[in-house]
Amino acid sequence: MAEKVLITGGAGFIGRHLSRALLEKGDEVRVLDSFIDQVHGDRSAVAELGPHVEVHEGDVRDGDAVARALDGVDKVVHLAAEVGVGQSMYAIDRYVSVNDLGTATLFQKLIDRPVRRVVVASSMSIYGEGLYRDADGALHEQVLRGPRNPDGSWDPLDAEGRPMEPVPTPESKRPTLASVYAITKYTQERLTLTLAPAYGMEGVALRLWNAYGPGQALSNPYTGVLAIFASRLHNGVPPVIFEDGQQRRDFVHVSDVARAFILALDHPNAAGGVFNVGSGEDRTVEDVATLLADSMGRPDLKPEIAGKARAGDIRHCIPDIDHICEQLGYEPLADFRDGLAELADWVARQQAVDRVAEARRELEARGLVA
């Protein structure tokens, strides 16, 4: 049976892909989005949503706008959020307001207009450093590190000064909130999982890893790392990588992310759950930058290794996706190299303003790069 799904922040990268996937399965889609310049620029996202998506322009902190958007809705996907670890460390009031007050406003209005299920986009950033194994085989959940070790290395060390090995991080790992962005995403998650059942609804949280694919905001210097790299390569300048480039991440194609959201909306096992969403494959950031440069026909643009760290960044965090695979039947389908080729083809047809240097100056001016 067709349902009407509201996607807050639905004109963004993930929201547009999810909208198409929902329409393909026969659901109706309504989007609430504020179309901020940093993300949407020329507002071409409206055209990309297509004529079959009902678009409401409004801020998720505006209770009246939220109430109108909820009218007649069966389920909600809550994507509306300011995104970016680095920027969150100085635009503190903005991130807390949009992410947490926005979520509070949504649930305030859901009290009078309850839906069956609310799925919130959480983030891998809430884990801080991922799970590690020391040289003796013991696992460590609460790993903290300074910007750099005395010997110049970057990896977290155990009590005896030995480097620890990152291992896949399960949902059971306790959060270690290392940035304002992480704090706000965890608050969004807990508000959803606390308030939804209190008012007869079902709540689900998806902890997303690094989503990539066509349609990313190339001119936003605080968006996903692949979009930032692609923007610089497109403008003929090398990607900039903090630390030494050997930090490990999982990159998940947006089509797989969209499938995860549909499972979270529909599967009976999803209710009340928290699920990692990734590809199940991890790579160093330097390797990813090199592969992307090759895909874009710019193998000459070798990544620039900054040798500095940003406040709030973590070293390694890779997902254990067994839970979502076993409980919801999730299966990541996209091949990474094919996904990079698709991204490169799309970027070649775009215009992108490279604002990475500007963003770096903002961080350095506040002492957030060391």
Domain chopping of the chain, boundaries:
4-131+168-366, 132-166
Give the predicted TM-score (pTM) of the model: 0.91
Tokens representing 129 are: 């450093």
β-pair type (210-212, 202-208): unpaired
What is the predicted pLDDT for the residue at 235?
86
The reported pLDDT for the residue numbered 311 is 73
Number of H helices and number of E strands within the chain?
14, 15
Query: Checking phi first, is residue 307 left (phi over 0); if not, alpha (psi -120 to 50) or beta?
Result: left
pLDDT of residue 152: 84
What does each of the 370 residues of the chain score in pLDDT, given as a tens digit? 789 999 999 999 999 999 999 999 999 999 999 987 655 555 566 667 878 999 999 999 999 999 999 999 999 999 999 988 888 989 999 999 999 999 999 999 999 999 999 999 999 999 999 999 999 999 999 898 776 888 888 999 988 889 999 999 999 999 999 899 999 999 999 999 999 999 999 999 999 999 999 888 775 655 668 878 888 888 898 988 989 999 999 999 999 999 999 999 999 999 999 999 999 999 999 999 999 999 989 999 999 998 888 776 889 999 999 999 999 999 999 999 999 999 888 888 877 666 555 555 655 566 555 4
Distance of CA 27 to the CA centre of its chain: 24
pLDDT at position 148 is 83
CA distance 366 to 346: 35
Task: Specify the fold of 4-131+168-366.
Answer: Rossmann fold (3.40.50)
pLDDT score at 39: 58
Could you identify the residue written with the tokens 């947490």?
Answer: 100
Question: Residue 291 phi/psi, 5° resolution?
Answer: -65, -40
- Written as six digits, the tokens of 225 are 């790392």
